[in-house]
């Protein structure tokens, strides 16, 4: 497992839940929210399996950003997709990318296979 910590708007909690559900990986809100202070942002910790981490790291390297920035961008894009069309937004775009990562891991890929490079290139496009 590899852990990524992201500072996100707290309104994105349902989107993080959905994305982590598709990726089949756990997440947690790791900062305390004091009652007397209405925080707009929260720190989310996402724990991803080794295959997911390798794919995400290679995809972010192709895009020229950190993995945390890639995840942050994907979460915001998924939120936009769902807001535009809740049904179709859950099947296309970022949802499809996350499902592909989970599916490839379920098929037994470990990340060192040549075909995984094609997956990374597909994820990095768009």
| Domain ranges (residues) in the chain | 2-124
* pLDDT at site 41: 85
Please tell me which residue, 35 or 20, carries the higher pLDDT value: 20
Query: pLDDT > 70: what percent of the chain?
Result: 90
Q: Which regions of 10-124 does DSSP assign to beta strands (E)?
A: 27-29, 41-48
Cβ pair 59, 70 in contact under 8 A: yes
Lowest-confidence pick of 52-61, 72-81, 88-97, 110-119: 88-97
Query: Is pLDDT at 37 greater than 70 in this prediction?
Result: no
Q: Return contacts of 80-85, CB within 8 angstroms, 24+ apart.
A: 82/15, 82/18
Q: Which regions of 10-114 does DSSP assign to beta strands (E)?
A: 27-29, 41-48
């Amino acid at each position: 497992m590899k852990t990524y910590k992201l500072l996100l708007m707290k309104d994105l909690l349902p989107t993080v839940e959905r994305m982590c559900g598709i990726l089949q990986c756990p997440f947690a809100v790791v900062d305390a929210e004091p009652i007397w202070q209405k925080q707009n942002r929260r720190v989310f910790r996402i724990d991803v399996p080794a295959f997911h981490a390798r794919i995400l790291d290679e995809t972010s390297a192709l895009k020229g950003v950190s993995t945390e920035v890639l995840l942050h961008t994907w979460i915001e894009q998924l939120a936009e997709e769902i807001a535009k069309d809740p049904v179709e937004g859950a099947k296309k775009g970022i949802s499809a990318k996350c499902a592909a990562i989970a599916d490839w891991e379920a098929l037994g890929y470990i990340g060192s296979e040549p075909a995984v490079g094609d997956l990374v290139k597909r994820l990095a496009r768009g």
